[in-house]
Chains A and B, each alone.
Chain A
Amino acid sequence: MEHAFGLLGFAVLLTLIFLRVPVGISMLVVGVVGTAQLTSLNGALNSMTGQVFAITTTYSLSVLPLFIFMGNLATKARLSRDLYDAAFVLIGHVRGGLASATVVGCAGFAALSGSSIASASTMGRVSYPEMKRRDYDAGLATGTIAAGGTLGILLPPSTGFVLYAILTEESIGRLFMAGIMPGLLLTGLFLLTISILVWLAPEKGGGAAVAEPDTSKRAVLMGAFPIAGIILCTIGGIYIGFFTPVEAAGAGAALTLLVALLRRQLDWRGLVEVLSDTLETTGLCFLILIGAMVFAPFVALSGLPATVAETVTGLSSNPYLVMIAILLTYAVLGMVIEGLSLMVITLPIIFPVVIGLGFDPIWFGVIMVLVLEMGLISPPVGVNCFVVKSVAPDVPLGQIFRGVLPFWAAMGCCIALLLVFPQIALIIPNAMFG
């Protein structure tokens, strides 16, 4: 009986979300009302305040504002320009090289910012005018930026991994490390996709091969040195066990602040803007998290996860078939529900199923983030495509969506590889933590 009530709660939640009620508020309301129905009103309200206080005093969640601060500082200090220039020097001279440089730049920026939208927006502003000037096909140019931006949520630090870790009580550091190899693999697959596209239709990759910039190679590469230092310090610091993720976030933010100040690219007004943007993004994440933490006890009390686990595992004896069905469902849902929201809404139900099937929770975290990334570039709510539209207003949205299709296929290949070879994700965390 309770699980039917759980299903009803889930239906009400989706209705509220589709009626434009903020996702966090929808979960909060359904969580409180549902828990009140299953226990008592006073118990539900007490549970709500307890959960809110618990989530706002969770030490490991300090990584969120700190990494967001670091990413915003990097944007303000124009580190994205340096990254793009360095990638341009390395691979810009080959046909399609500007698109490849964009992907490499996005991967580098992803290691500074945990946000896909920030990566697409920042790198788009730098690379799109350049590709347009060189007569790149608009679909290839915008598709590259939108897809490259998705690396932001896979390569550490990643807000997606932090939320997943909190909701499933897994290690943030382990998840960060698990994202490295798949992130690099996906970067490689994106580069391969560009090469194939340009090989099939050379005119897509601009009129002619691009000459190297006037500035000497050495100077440009040296310009990217501070960024490499920050990435090495934060991600490397976690890898060798010198930093916890929170400390790495603090050190990364401090180093980025130092670089921005030394380059005189941050004044008082700029710092206020950065802090304001940091708070807005942090608030967005926490409002969803608060809702999720109030919603989760209701789902658990309703017994819905157990029922779903029983039903899903009964569908097939092959766990991989079940996993593929779950991933396809996520891919479809990701087309209509924003990625992080989809994660927090469904994890309390799906996670026990995945564990019951015998899959590794860290591996599933990576796979899940990858599938949600696909949603970021899928119509109709492919947020990254809308972000790219804002930096390339002359390109029709339909052309942007068509442009990302080959990269969508590349992401599908990456997921297939991870399904067949889970070690791609697990090799680094297993080497580190055993």
Chain B
Amino acid sequence: MRSLLTLAAIGFGGTSVVLLMVVSVVDSASRAIGSPILGAKEVSEALLVLCVGAAVPMSILGGRSVTIDGLVAQFPTRVGVAVTWAGVALSVLAIAVLAWRLVGASGDARDFQEASPLLQIPYAPLYLYLSCAHAMAAVAFLIHAFFPVAKVEEH
């Protein structure tokens, strides 16, 4: 499950980062020669959504969420474990609620035909993608809680 999530996230997110780079370079180059790309900014925004949607579950899976451990580390072991699991439950619940509300927002965006001004990129699929991404993030919290990874420095 972890490797499947990671693979999907790198596929979507990695491609979007590379495309984001290409779009910004091509846009600035074409602007320099006097013919800027119409709607490059809107494409970048859509790519950013793809990137963030992949990045959030990735960072949770990789144990990169910022937490402050000092106080809990001082608790007796059992209390520390209970507090940690309560934190995981709260995190899963919060992210799941966010995912659920984003599905609703996607429906609203579809009903009202919300889209970007120039290229008319529809917002409904983007909301839906974000919803799926946050559902994955909730799953990622659980995976990380049950099977934590020791982060290996890659530098």
A and B assemble together: yes
Enumerate B111-155 residues with CB–CB distance to A below 8 Å: 123, 126-127, 130, 153-155
B54: chain A residues within 8 A (beta carbon): 279, 283
Interchain nearest-CB distance for A252 vs B (Å) = 9
**Are the CB atoms of B154 and A277 closer together than 8 Å?**
yes
Classify chain A's interface size: 35 or more
Collect the chain B residues with CB atoms within 8 Å of residue A250's CB.
Answer: 20-25, 28
Find the B residue at minimum CB distance from A17: B68
Question: Are A29 and B94 neighbours in the complex by a CB distance under 8 Å?
Answer: yes
The one of B22, B44, B59 that contacts A280, using a Cβ cutoff of 8 Å = B59
A280 touches B65 (CB 8 A): no
Set of chain A residues within 8 Å of B21, measured between Cβ atoms:
66, 69, 250, 253-254, 257
Q: With A28-B98, A49-B102, A288-B66 given, is the CB distance from A66 to B45 under 8 Å? A: no
Number of residues on chain B facing chain A (CB within 8 A): 64
Considering the chains assembled together, what is the distance between the CA atoms of A242 and B33 in angstroms? Answer: 12
Taken together as a complex, chains A and B put the C-alpha atoms of A290 and B55 apart, in Å, by 13
Which of A62, A272, A341 makes the CB contact (< 8 A) with B20?
A: A62
Using Cβ atoms and an 8 Å threshold, which residues of chain B touch A61?
48
Within 8 Å of chain B (Cβ to Cβ): is A130? no
Cβ-closest chain B residue relative to A340: B66
Pairwise interchain contact B28-A243, C-beta atoms closer than 8 A = yes
Query: Is A301 positioned at the interface, with any CB of B under 8 Å from its CB?
Result: no
> How far apart are the CA atoms of A80 and B153 in the complex, in Å?
16
A56 near B32 (CB under 8 angstroms)? no
Q: Which residue of A lies closest to B71 (CB)?
A: A18
Q: How far is the CA of A287 from the CA of B28 in the complex (A)?
A: 29
A75 within 8 A of B: yes
Partner of A284, one of B23, B66, B69: B66
Instruction: Report which of A19, A52, A337 forms a contact with B72, defined as CB distance below 8 A.
Output: A19
Complex: how many Å from CA A408 to CA B154?
28
Cα separation A279 to B8 with both chains bound (whole Å): 12
Contact between B130 and A242, CB atoms less than 8 A apart: no
Residue of B nearest to A75 (CB): B155
Interfacial chain B residues near A48, Cβ < 8 Å: 98, 101
Contacting pair B56 A283 (CB below 8 A)? yes
**Which of A99-107, A118-126, A133-141, A360-368 forms part of the interface with chain B?**
A118-126
Chain A positions within 8 Å of B, measured between CB atoms, are: 16-25, 28-29, 32, 45-46, 48-50, 52-53, 56-59, 61-62, 65-66, 69, 75, 118, 121-122, 125, 242-244, 246-247, 249-251, 253-254, 257, 272-273, 275-284, 286-288, 290, 336-338, 340-341, 380-381, 390
What would 19 A/B residue contacts be, using CB atoms closer than 8 Å? A18-B71, A20-B87, A32-B94, A52-B98, A53-B126, A56-B48, A56-B53, A62-B48, A66-B17, A75-B155, A125-B155, A246-B44, A247-B25, A249-B24, A250-B25, A279-B9, A280-B62, A282-B51, A341-B66
